[in-house]
Structure 1
Amino acid sequence: MPAMSRIALTLGLALGASAAKNSIVAPTGAEKLTVGLLGDYGWTGWQPLPLDFCNNALPKLQADGVTIPRDLQNDCDPGDRAAISNATIEETRTANYIEKVCLQKNCSAFVSVGDNFYDSGVDFTSEGIQRFYEGWANMYVGKAFDGKPWYQALGNHDIVAGKAGVDFQTRIAPLMEDRWYFGNDNLPYYTYDLKGSNWTATFAVVDSDCFINKYQQSTSVYNTDYVIECHQTTQTQVEFLRKAFAESTATWKILQIHHGFISSSTNYTELAPLMDIVRENNAVVINGHDHCMAHYQFNGTNFVLTGGAGYAEAGDCNYGVPLGPFTKWLGADAQQAANGFVTLDISYNALHFEYYARDMQLKGADYYPVANEMKPSYSFDVTQHATKA
C-alpha cells in the first residue's frame, strides 16, 4: 500500500478521486480539521564537540589555514553548547505536552516550520540516520502522533550540512518514514492541500534560507554549497509561490516558511517579494526561527510564530523594550519564553489559531507559569477568505 494511503487509512480519512497525492481530505461531511503547528524543536541526539577541540584545537587549525567544515564550526557554538542539557529536557517534555493537547483536540496532521535538527542538521550517514530516529521518529510517538503526516520545511540549522543535508530531508527521509512529507519532487519548496466538506486550504512551503543576505557572507556557518546556489535562484521560489496561489481556488491560503518577515528580534526584509504575493492573495504566514510563540499583524497580514517546541529563548523574542504595535501577543518576557505549539482549526468560516504554552517547571523552578496549560494562552480568528484568481 502506498505510504500516503497508509497514512490516510490510519487517520480514517477518505481520499477523493480528484485529490492530489499530497492532499488530506477530511471525512465526508466533516466541517473542521485540526492541525498542530510547530518548529525549532530538533535538539535531542545532538552531541556538541569536545570542549578541548573547540577552545584549543580549532583556533590552531584555523590559524594554520585548515579549512573547517561548516558543521564543525557550528557544533562549537558556545550558546548552543550551554543550552543542550535544558534543550533536550524541554523538547521531550514539550513533545509529551503536544501529544496531550492533540489527543484532546484530535489533531489530524502536523505542520513544521523548520530547524528540525540542531545544531548542524543531518545527512545520509550513520550519525544522521541515528539523529533522525532519536530526535524525531522515536520522539514524536504515541496515539496523537502515530500515522499522522508531518508537512516539513527547512530552517537554517537544517542547511548547515549543505546539499547532502537538504537531500536527506527532502528525498531520503520520506522513504524512511511515511509520516515525514516533503512534496513529490524532492525539492525544498512544494505545495499541498488540506480539505474539508466545504473548504480547501492551500499551503505553500518555501525555503526562506535562500533569501537571507547575511548567509551569503563567507564567515557565515550557513554559507554552504546549497545556500550559495539557491540564493542565485530565489526568483524560482517567488514564481513558484505566485503560481501556486494564483492557480488555487482554495478558501484559505497559507505560506509556510522558517524566517519571520515581522518579528520581535530580526525582521527579514529580504522576504518582501514573498510578502507581496501573500498580501495579494489575502494569505496567512506561518513561521518559526525565533524560539517563542507570537501573533503579529502587519499591513493586513497575520503572522503566526510557532517556534517554541524545542528550546525557548527570551533573547530571540523580547529584549525588555516596548513591543511595536504589530505585536498582538507574545509568549515571552525579558526573562523567559514559553515552550509550546499552536493548533489551527480549519473550517469554512474561520482559521482558528490557539497558542498552547506549557507550564515550564524545571529543576525546582517554574520558568513560565501557566494557570491551565490544557487551555490556550491566546487565540485569534482569521475570517476573511483568501483572494481567488
Structure 2
Amino acid sequence: MSRTVLTLTLAVSALAAKNSIIAPEGADVLTVALLGDFGWTGWEPLPLAFCNEALPKLIADGVDISTEIQNDCDPGDRSDIRNATIEQKHTARYIEDVCLKKNCSAFLSVGDNFYDSGISFDTAGILRFYDSWASVYNSTAFAGKPWYQCLGNHDIVQGQPAVDFQTHIAPLMDDRWYFGHDGLPYYTYDLVGSNWTATFVVIESDCFINKYQESSSVYLTPYLKACHKKTQQQVNFLKKSFAESDADWKFLHIHHGYMSSSSNYTELAPLMDIVQKHNGVVFNGHDHCMAHYYYQDTNFVLTGAAGYAQAGDCNYGEKLGPYAQWLGADSEQAANGFVTLDISADALNFEYYARDMRMLGSDLYPVSHDMKPSYNFTVTKQST
C-alpha cells in the first residue's frame, strides 16, 4: 500500500470510528463486563529451531532483530500458548453464559488483546484480528454490543503500526470495536442511564512504565519513546475529563495495575491522585488473575483472567498486607473469569465470576457454582 493510500485510509477510519456501536442509554441498571488479557487464539510461535539455534547466531552476527521476533521467542509465552488458547475459548463461552443471564450491554477490555506481539495492518494482523477476537466473541451475548478498548504492553510491541491498527483500522473492520473518535490511544466515553451518568477515561499506561524505556525492553520503539515524553498530556487529559464531568460515577480504565499482588507500577501515581480526588474507581488487567484491592479510599478492580491465568500474579492466593480484599487464586492455579459491573444511580455492584476450570482431564480451579459470583463488593459513595 502506498503512503498516500495508507494516510487516506487512516484519515477515513478516524471518522468511521464515530459510527461505532455504543452502549444503550436510559436503563435504571446497566450491566457491563470487564475483562482483559485474552488474545491468545491464532498466535503461531516461531519455530523452536529458529529461536534456540538461529536467533543466537543472528544476534552474534549483528543482525538487527525486531522486537516482535524477540518477543515471539519468549520461552514462557511459547510454553503457555496451547493452554492459553484453550482457556481463552472456554472462558469466552463462560462469559457468554453469564452475560446472557445478566444481560451485559457492553464489554470493557483492559488490554493485551493480541498476544504475543500485537498486530498491524498486514495479512497476519488481519487474520489474527478475526481469529483472536471477532470469531471468538461472536455469539449471541456479544452480538451488536460495543467493546470499549484499551492497549496493553503486548499490543504495542510493533510500535506505531500496531497502535494505528487498534485505534484506526479495527473500528472500520468491526463496528463493535470502539476506540474513541480521535484515533488516539487514550480517550473518554460516558455510559448514561435513566437517572445516572458514568464517565470512563482510558489511559495508555504503557507510556508511563519506566522499565519499558530500557534498551533491553522488547516494548521500546520510537512510538513508546515519544509517548513516554508526553505522559503529562495524558495526566492533563484525565484531570480535565474528570473535572468537566458531572457524572455520578467516574472510572479510570487502564492496563497496568497501581495496586497489585505481583508488580505495583508506582509511576502511575499522578493518575491515582486524580482518581482519589474525584472518588473514582480504577479497573485494570496486566496481572493474569482477578482481585479486589482497596487503598487510600480507592477501589482497584483487577480483571486480567480472560485468557491465561497465572497463580503467581495473585500471590498464589495469599494476601499481602491489608490492601488485598480478595484474590481469585489458590496455591496452584488462578481462576479464569471476568468481572461484571452493575451501574445504577444508587450503587456500583461488582461481581467476580470465576470459571470452574475443567480442562485436559482435570479440574484446575474448582468452583462449585460458577454461575454465581465468587466474590462481590458494592460502592455507594458517588464521585465528585
CA distance in 1, matches of 2:319, 2:326: 13
What's 1:20 paired with? none
Residue 126 of structure 1 and its aligned partner are, at CA, apart by: 0.1
Contact 2:25 2:193 survives alignment (8 Å): yes
1:194-233 correspondence to structure 2 within 5 Å: 194-233=191-230
Call closer, same or farther: CA 1:368–1:320 in 2, change over 3 Å: closer
Q: Which deviates the most, 319-328 or 200-209?
A: 319-328
**Which residue identity lines up with residue 73 of structure 2 in the other structure?**
C
CA distance in 1, matches of 2:149, 2:20: 18
What's 1:240 paired with? 237
Contact 1:4 1:178 survives alignment (8 Å): no
Residue 91 of structure 1 and its aligned partner are, at CA, apart by: 0.2
CA distance in 2, matches of 1:294, 1:273: 22
What's 2:103 paired with? 106
Deviations 1:174-232 (CA, angstroms, capped at 9, x unpaired): 11110000000000000000000000000000000000000000100011121111000
Counterpart check, 1:372 vs 2:372: no
Call closer, same or farther: CA 1:321–1:32 in 2, change over 3 Å: closer
Contact 2:18 2:181 survives alignment (8 Å): no
Call closer, same or farther: CA 1:215–1:375 in 2, change over 3 Å: same
Contact 2:206 2:224 survives alignment (8 Å): yes
1:245-256 correspondence to structure 2 within 5 Å: 245-256=242-253
CA distance in 2, matches of 1:259, 1:179: 24
What's 1:332 paired with? 329
**Which residue identity lines up with residue 137 of structure 1 in the other structure?**
A
Residue 333 of structure 1 and its aligned partner are, at CA, apart by: 2.1
Counterpart check, 1:357 vs 2:354: yes
CA distance in 1, matches of 2:272, 2:206: 15
1:1-389 correspondence to structure 2 within 5 Å: 7=21, 24-27=23-26, 30-319=27-316, 322-387=319-384
Calculate the TM-score normalised by the size of structure 1.
0.93
Residue 98 of structure 1 and its aligned partner are, at CA, apart by: 0.3
Unmatched runs of 5 consecutive residues or more in structure 2: 1-15
What's 1:12 paired with? none
CA distance in 1, matches of 2:165, 2:20: 22
Contact 1:24 1:193 survives alignment (8 Å): no
**Which residue identity lines up with residue 81 of structure 2 in the other structure?**
I
Residue 334 of structure 1 and its aligned partner are, at CA, apart by: 2.6
**Which residue identity lines up with residue 273 of structure 1 in the other structure?**
P
Calculate the TM-score normalised by the size of structure 2.
0.94
What's 2:6 paired with? none
Residue 6 of structure 1 and its aligned partner are, at CA, apart by: 7.8
Deviations 1:97-129 (CA, angstroms, capped at 9, x unpaired): 000000000000000000000000000000000
Call closer, same or farther: CA 1:6–1:315 in 2, change over 3 Å: closer
Deviations 1:134-186 (CA, angstroms, capped at 9, x unpaired): 10011101111000000000000000010000000000001111000000000
Contact 2:20 2:178 survives alignment (8 Å): no
- Partner of 1:45, secondary structure, is coil
Contact 1:98 1:341 survives alignment (8 Å): yes
**Which residue identity lines up with residue 196 of structure 2 in the other structure?**
W
Contact 1:44 1:91 survives alignment (8 Å): yes
**Which residue identity lines up with residue 281 of structure 2 in the other structure?**
V
Give the total of aligned pairs. Answer: 369
- Partner of 1:104, secondary structure, is helix
**Which residue identity lines up with residue 379 of structure 2 in the other structure?**
V
Residue 4 of structure 1 and its aligned partner are, at CA, apart by: 6.5
Unmatched runs of 5 consecutive residues or more in structure 1: 8-22
- Partner of 2:233, secondary structure, is helix
Residue 24 of structure 1 and its aligned partner are, at CA, apart by: 3.5
Contact 1:32 1:346 survives alignment (8 Å): yes
Deviations 1:28-81 (CA, angstroms, capped at 9, x unpaired): xx3100000000000000000000000010000111111100000000000000
Contact 2:17 2:181 survives alignment (8 Å): no
- Partner of 1:154, secondary structure, is coil
Residue 25 of structure 1 and its aligned partner are, at CA, apart by: 4.4
